[in-house]
C-alpha cells in the first residue's frame, strides 16, 4: 500500500470514526473481550510467554488443557530449564509444530543461564531469545511491562487487512511492511497498550473471524474499508495457490512382549526431535529392516493406511505391524539408534499424534493394553 493510499484510508477513517480505532477497540474489550483466560490472572512473564508460544498456530480452546498440564509439570521457568528435552517434548505432544517446544526449552535455559531466571523487560531483548519473534516479544512486553509495541499475529493481521483494505498476500515483504506500518500507527499510549493488544487479538478471534465474521458486532465497523467495499472475504489475500507436495512413508510398528521399537527423528524436518515409529521410503526397505531385527520370516502385517495433512505437505502413512515375540536377550536396538521401550514408556514419550494413533491401533490388535495419550491430531489454527 502506497503512502497516498494510506493517507486516503486514514482520512476516511477519521471522518467515519473520529480517528479513534484504538479507543473503540479498548472500549469494546472492556465490555465484551476475554478476561478469564488463565494467563491473564497476573502479569507473570513466564505464563504469558508460555501462552503466546502455545497460541502460535493453535486455537485457545485447544491450548487450555495443554497449558494447565504444562504448568503443573513445569511451574516456573527454572523447572522447564532443568527438564530434559524429552520430557518437554512429551508434555507438548499433540500440540503440533514441535519446533516451538524445542525453542521453548532452549529459551528457558537461556533465561536461567544468562538472565538469572528473569525475563528481559524490553521487546528488543525478548526478541533475541530462541523462538520469540517480534510480535511475540511485543505481546509479552505489552502485557507484562506496559511497553508500547506493535504485534502482528494472524488475528491482528486479518483485522488490519479488512479495516484498512490492505491489498496483497501478507507473506510478501512489501505487504508485510505495510501491515507493520499500520500496526504501529494505531498504537495507543503505553498505559493502554495491554488492553489494546488483547482487544485487537480478541476482535480477530471472536468477531473478525476468518469465515463468517460478525460485522454487526464489530466496534470499528463504521470505518472498515472492506465492509464499505463489500469485499470482506477478499482480505487478507490468500496465499497464492500451489500444489501441495505428496509423500508416502512406510511405517513399522514392531511389538515384542509389551515393548515397541521407536526411533528419534532428526532435529530438522517433519516432527523433528520426536520419538517415532521407524519409517521408510519403500516397503522393501521396511522388510529388510524387519529381518534385521531377527523377527522371523513371517513378515509384517499390513494395516489400514492413514493420511495426515501438514501445513506444507500431504503425508500418506502405510503402516505394517510386526509381532516379534523376542526374548529380552534377542531384542536388538535398530542400527539407526532405535530403542525398544515399554508401551507405558512409549505412552509418556513425545510422539506425533498420527504415530501414537497407529501404535494404539496395533497394540489393541495385538491384545495389548491401551496406550495413554492423545488419540487425535488437533486442528492447528490461530487462537
Q: What are the residue numbers of the active site?
A: 52
Q: Packing angle between helix 45-54 and helix 134-145, nearest 10 degrees?
A: 150
Angle at which helices 3-17 and 173-185 pack, to 10 degrees?
40
Spatial distance between the Cα atoms of 127 and 368, rounded to a whole number of angstroms = 47
47/42 Cα distance (integer angstroms): 9
Kindly report the backbone phi and psi dihedral angles of residue 255, in degrees, each rounded to the nearest multiple of 5, phi listed first.
Answer: -115, 145
Residues 6 or more apart whose Cβ sits within 8 Å of residue 17: 24, 220, 222, 223
User: How do 246-256 and 314-323 pair as beta strands?
Assistant: parallel
Length of the chain: 383
With a CB cutoff of 8 Å and minimum separation 6, the contacts of 335 are: 292
Amino acid at each position: 500500500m502506497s503512502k497516498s493510499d494510506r493517507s486516503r484510508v486514514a482520512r476516511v477513517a477519521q471522518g467515519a470514526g473520529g480517528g479513534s480505532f484504538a479507543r473503540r477497540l479498548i472500549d469494546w474489550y472492556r465490555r465484551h473481550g476475554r478476561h478469564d483466560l488463565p494467563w491473564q490472572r497476573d502479569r507473570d512473564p513466564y505464563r504469558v510467554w508460555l501462552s503466546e508460544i502455545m497460541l502460535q498456530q493453535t486455537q485457545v480452546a485447544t491450548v487450555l488443557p495443554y497449558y494447565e498440564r504444562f504448568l503443573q509439570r513445569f511451574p516456573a521457568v527454572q523447572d522447564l530449564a532443568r527438564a530434559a528435552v524429552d520430557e518437554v517434548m512429551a508434555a507438548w505432544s499433540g500440540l503440533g509444530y514441535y519446533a516451538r517446544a524445542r525453542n521453548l526449552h532452549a529459551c528457558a535455559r537461556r533465561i536461567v543461564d544468562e538472565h538469572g531466571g528473569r525475563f528481559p523487560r524490553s521487546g528488543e531483548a525478548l526478541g533475541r531469545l530462541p523462538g520469540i519473534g517480534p510480535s511475540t516479544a511485543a505481546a509479552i512486553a505489552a502485557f507484562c511491562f506496559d511497553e508500547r509495541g506493535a504485534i502482528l499475529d494472524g488475528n491482528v493481521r486479518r483485522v488490519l487487512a479488512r479495516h484498512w483494505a490492505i491489498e496483497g498476500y501478507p507473506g510478501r515483504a512489501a505487504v508485510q511492511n505495510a501491515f507493520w506500518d499500520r500496526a504501529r500507527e494505531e498504537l495507543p499510549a503505553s498505559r493502554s497498550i495491554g488492553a489494546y493488544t488483547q482487544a485487537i487479538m480478541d476482535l480477530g478471534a471472536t468477531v473478525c473471524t476468518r469465515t463468517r465474521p460478525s460485522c454487526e458486532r464489530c466496534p470499528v465497523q463504521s470505518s472498515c474499508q472492506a465492509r464499505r467495499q463489500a469485499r470482506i472475504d477478499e482480505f487478507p489475500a490468500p496465499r497464492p495457490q500451489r500444489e501441495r507436495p505428496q509423500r508416502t512413508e512406510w511405517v513399522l510398528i514392531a511389538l515384542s512382549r509389551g515393548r515397541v521399537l521407536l526411533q528419534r527423528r532428526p532435529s530438522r524436518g517433519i516432527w523433528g526431535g520426536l520419538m517415532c515409529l521407524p519409517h521408510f521410503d519403500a516397503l522393501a526397505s521396511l522388510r529388510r529392516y524387519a529381518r534385521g531385527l531377527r523377527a522371523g520370516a513371517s513378515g509384517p502385517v499390513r494395516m489400514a493406511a492413514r493420511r495426515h495433512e501438514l501445513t506444507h505437505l500431504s503425508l500418506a502413512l502405510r503402516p505394517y505391524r510386526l509381532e516379534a515375540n523376542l526374548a529380552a536377550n534377542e531384542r536388538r536396538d535398530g542400527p539407526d539408534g532405535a530403542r525398544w521401550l515399554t508401551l507405558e514408556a512409549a505412552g509418556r514419550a513425545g510422539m506425533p499424534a498420527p504415530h501414537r494413533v497407529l501404535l494404539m491401533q496395533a497394540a489393541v490388535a495385538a491384545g495389548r493394553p491401551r496406550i495413554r495419550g492423545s488419540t487425535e491430531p488437533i486442528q492447528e489454527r490461530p487462537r
